[in-house]
Structure 1
Amino acid sequence: MNTLKKLPDAEFEIMKVVWANEPPITTSMIMEALGKEKEWKPQTILTLMVRLVERGFLRTEKKGKERIYFPIVNQEEYLKFETVDFIDRFHGNSFTSLITTLFDGKKMKDSDLDELKKWLDERRDSY
């Protein structure tokens, strides 16, 4: 897959279940995980799975009467893509702007900042 594209929320919900389970995964497994919670019908899940295959996030194989699915894009790769895109679009590619927004919005605690400082110090020492 050359370039990732943002997933609609429903497809992202499917991918979270895929990533949380050992491949391969079946539509039955997705239905069990999300069907009741989201009140999705089996056809809705099948449609979402087909879209994920078309977008290059999943690969599918026929096994007997059932289709099985394997992730092509891993969770870390997608979350990195989403995070970089978010920081670029909403914060002008400024990490400082992101942290300021989180801290001023009371979404970060002092302990979070201490942890961030420790992480940055470790990264700086490794260069």
Structure 2
Amino acid sequence: MSDSEKKIMEYIWAAGHPVTTSEIIKNLPEAAEWKQNTVITFLTRLIRKKILKATRVGKANQYEPCITEEEYRNFEIKQFIKDVHKGSILGFISSLCDNGDITMEDIESLMKRFKK
């Protein structure tokens, strides 16, 4: 998902109800700088990626997510580990340890989760 598509999805997820193109343009600061066709292009891409669905209501489409924000984040994390760490979760965690990005508190929390 591109940064622009992500901004649109973050707005839609936060809205918690189906939204129209005009609502997106009115409520998303970045969208005010985009032409309506640009917003529609982003929405079309999101539909093709099966992240968003559109329902025709009167003269306007209403857009709502096909996946939750959490489901999207989980997908991105798995994809990152696959692409950057060749699918190795251990490689990912080792990288965090080697760079000092993980604290002892983090490790203790992980250990507690692993014991469950």
TM-score category, normalised to shorter length: 0.7 to 0.9
* Counterpart AA for 1:97: G
TM score, norm. by length of structure 1? 0.74
Residue 43 of structure 1: how far off its partner (Å): 2.8
The answer to whether 1:66 aligns with 2:79 is: no
Quote how far apart the aligned CAs of 1:37 are: 7.8
Where structure 1 has 5 or more consecutive residues not aligned to the other structure, the ranges are 1-6, 123-127
Find out whether 1:120 has 2:114 as its counterpart: yes
State the identity as a percent: 34
Deviations 1:8-64 (A, max 9, x none): 232222222222221212223322443348843333212101221222221112223
Task: Give 1:104's aligned amino acid.
Answer: D
* Mapped partners of 1:84, 1:65: distance in 2: 39
Matched length: 116
SS of 1:25's equivalent? coil
Question: Which residue pairs with 2:42 in the alignment?
Answer: 48
Distance in 2, Cα, partners of 1:56 & 1:38: 25
| Equivalent residue number for residue 4 of structure 2 | 10
